[in-house]
Structure formats: structure tokens, C-alpha cells
């Protein structure tokens, strides 16, 4: 049975914006469940088993955590138009650049500037997620150095666009544009004046940003969180047990494991392996609110441990 794409997201989430842009490139219809930006997330945790980052994509009883695996699934299920027309490997690797060093330069610039306006509850939530803490005072002190870093990352993009191409890989938008757009979107939406000053020397980058933003988000329609939980409970996962003969650590279907992110938001999700491969691990778990679901994670950027 085909199920609708449901994205559990919130409006100001930069990683959600990346996925929403992919929906736009593909012109997809999808359902949007608005979730809190911090714990508690009572209508998300039953689906994910504890994973708290945003976004989460749901298709029936299959739950996809992290934008990397979400976009991989969107492309697999909706291959045309492709967001990977120039190769299927390195574009995902470029996501690690935009999601880690580029994003990690954006965060202290933003929160160093607006830290005095950030609610204490939000600070405590992000501190619990972050192994190195979440001090807006420390970010304010680091912000000048991070502006240097951010400018350098922006220059990579501007240099690539200098030959007059409309998008980063040519005449049409791809996953690489979605990756790179995220950080400019996050900065412009929060501290526009500072971002504009950093981009003043890169008019080609500002013009590219406007072209990508004009793609918008496809065809979203709202959905109530309780309806999404009911869909999961009524559905059966499409995931099938499959042994991976190349699994480096010998994990196999039926093994009990925990999965967690390796950077921040390291909450452990426990379950029973359905399948593994080089890109993905899928684990089956159960919660009263949703019954049996299968939660899918990327392998790159996540830690799998017996458990």
C-alpha cells in the first residue's frame, strides 16, 4: 500500500528546509506535521524511539531519521526529476561539508548575536544535546573567528558560480544546491544584516540564493500529529530482512543494537536489525502509540553498538 510522505518538521529548522527544497525540486505533494523545536516531543518520540533531531520523515510505518537518509529515500521513491543527475556518491559527501564545518560556523555567528533573546529552556535543551555545551557567551566570543570561517566557505560556492552557471552543478538545481542553500537560509532568516555584510563581496552568491529560494517547497498540506501516529499504527513497514554479506562488524537481521548520532543529539535508539548496508541501517521497535515501526538511519554519521 502506498502511503503519503509525512515530514515532521518546524518552520525555522535549517535541515528541514533542505528537505523541503528537495520536495520543491521534485514538485512533490507531502504532509507537514509541525513539531516543537525542543523537548518534550510527545508525538515524535513514539515514532523514533528517542531520536530528537529534526526533521523526521514518515512513510506509513517506516520512519527516516536525518536529512541524509530522508533525501536518499525521496530520490529512490521519486526518481524523476533526479536531484542526483551528475553522480550519486560525492553529492552526499558534500552534505557532510555543509552540515558540519559550514553549519558549525553558522551556529556561533547566529547565537552569538541573538543569545540574549534565546529562551533559557531552549538553551538547556541544546546544552543537553551538545557534548561541548551550548554557551551563547562562548559563541559570542567565537563569532569573529567563525565569520572568517563562514566567509571562506561562502567563497567556495561563489568561486564555483563564477563561470555564470545558474546552479552549482549546471543549468538545473540538484541536491548540492539544497545542501549549500541551507546555511545561507539559516543565516539570512535570523541575522539578515550580518549575513548581507558577509555576502557583499559575493553578488553571484546572493543571486544564486534567490534562484534556489524561488523553487519553494512543492505541495505541502498540514497534518495533525495524532493522525500521523494513527497512520503508523495502522500500517506495516515495507522493510524486509536482508543479510549484508559485507557488514564489517557482522551485524545481521535480528540482532539487538542501539543507534545514535556521532556529533550531537546522541540519544540512543534501541531495536532489532531488519537490514544493514553501506548507507543505511533499519531497526524494528515497538511503542504503544504506534505499534511496530521500522526506524531507518544513515551509517555515515551514526554509531551502531550491540544492545
Whether the pLDDT of residue 182 is over 80: the answer is yes
Average pLDDT over residues 54-73: 98
Whether the pLDDT of residue 1 is over 80: the answer is no
Residue ranges of alpha helices (H) inside the chain are 14-26, 45-48, 67-77, 90-97, 103-114, 120-129, 136-161, 175-190, 192-199, 203-213, 225-234
What pLDDT is attached to residue 133? 87
Average pLDDT over residues 98-119: 96
Using one digit for the tens of pLDDT, what is the confidence trace for 236-294? Answer: 999 999 999 999 999 999 999 999 999 999 999 999 999 999 999 999 999 999 999 99
The rounded mean pLDDT for the chain is 96
Specify whether the CB–CB gap between 251 and 304 falls below 8 A.
Answer: yes
Average pLDDT over residues 204-227: 98
Residues near 81 by beta carbon (within 8 Å), at least 6 away in sequence: 25, 26, 27, 172
Mind listing the domains of the chain with CATH numbers? 6-81+220-306 (3.40.30.110), 90-213 (1.20.1050.10)
Q: Which residue has cell 562562548?
A: 138
Specify whether the CB–CB gap between 26 and 83 falls below 8 A.
Answer: yes
* Dihedral pair phi/psi, residue 302, rounded to 5°: -135, 150
Percentage of the chain exceeding pLDDT 70: 99
At residue 299, the 3 state secondary structure works out as: coil
Average pLDDT over residues 164-182: 98
What pLDDT is attached to residue 132? 86
* Cα separation, 83 vs 74, whole angstroms: 10
Among residues 206, 236, 232, 227, which one has the least CA distance to residue 288?
Answer: 232
What pLDDT is attached to residue 105? 97
Residues 65, 178, 263, 54, CA torsion sign: negative
Average pLDDT over residues 189-204: 96
Whole-structure pTM value: 0.96
Whether the pLDDT of residue 160 is over 60: the answer is yes
Task: Provide the 10 A C-beta neighbour count for residue 272.
Answer: 16
Percentage of the chain exceeding pLDDT 90: 98
Amino acid at each position: 500500500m502506498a502511503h503519503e510522505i509525512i515530514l515532521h518538521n518546524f518552520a525555522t529548522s535549517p535541515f528541514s528546509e533542505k528537505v523541503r527544497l528537495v520536495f520543491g525540486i521534485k514538485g512533490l505533494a507531502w504532509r507537514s506535521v509541525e513539531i516543537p523545536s525542543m523537548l518534550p516531543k510527545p508525538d515524535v518520540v513514539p515514532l523514533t524511539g528517542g531520536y530528537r533531531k529534526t526533521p523526521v520523515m514518515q512513510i506509513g510505518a517506516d520512519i527516516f531519521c536525518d536529512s541524509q537518509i530522508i533525501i536518499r529515500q525521496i530520490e529512490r521513491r521519486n526518481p524523476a526529476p533526479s536531484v542526483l543527475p551528475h553522480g550519486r556518491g560525492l553529492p552526499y559527501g558534500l552534505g557532510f561539508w555543509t552540515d558540519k564545518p559550514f553549519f558549525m560556523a553558522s551556529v556561533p555567528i547566529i547565537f552569538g548575536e541573538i543569545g540574549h533573546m534565546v529562551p533559557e529552556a531552549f538553551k538547556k535543551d541544546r546544552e543537553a544535546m551538545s557534548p561541548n555545551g551550548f554557551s551563547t557567551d562562548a559563541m559570542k566570543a567565537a563569532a569573529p573567528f567563525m565569520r572568517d570561517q563562514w566567509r571562506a566557505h561562502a567563497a567556495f560556492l561563489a568561486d564555483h558560480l563564477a563561470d555564470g552557471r545558474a546552479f552549482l552543478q549546471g543549468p538545473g538545481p540538484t541536491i548540492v544546491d539544497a545542501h549549500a542553500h541551507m546555511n545561507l537560509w539559516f543565516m539570512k532568516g535570523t541575522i539578515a544584516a550580518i549575513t548581507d555584510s558577509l555576502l557583499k563581496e559575493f553578488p553571484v552568491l546572493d543571486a544564486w540564493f534567490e534562484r534556489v529560494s524561488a523553487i519553494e517547497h512543492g505541495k505541502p498540506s498540514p497534518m495533525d500529529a495524532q493522525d500521523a501516529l494513527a497512520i503508523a499504527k495502522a500500517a506495516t513497514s515495507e522493510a524486509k530482512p536482508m543479510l549484508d554479506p559485507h557488514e564489517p562488524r557482522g551485524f545481521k537481521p535480528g540482532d539487538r543494537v542501539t543507534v545514535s548520532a556521532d556529533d550531537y543529539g546522541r540519544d540512543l535508539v534501541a531495536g532489532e536489525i531488519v537490514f544493514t548496508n553501506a548507507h543505511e541501517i533499519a531497526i524494528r521497535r515497538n511503542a504503544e502509540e504506534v505499534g511496530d515501526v521500522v526506524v531507518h538511519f544513515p551509517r555515515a554519521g551514526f554509531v551502531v553498538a550491540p544492545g
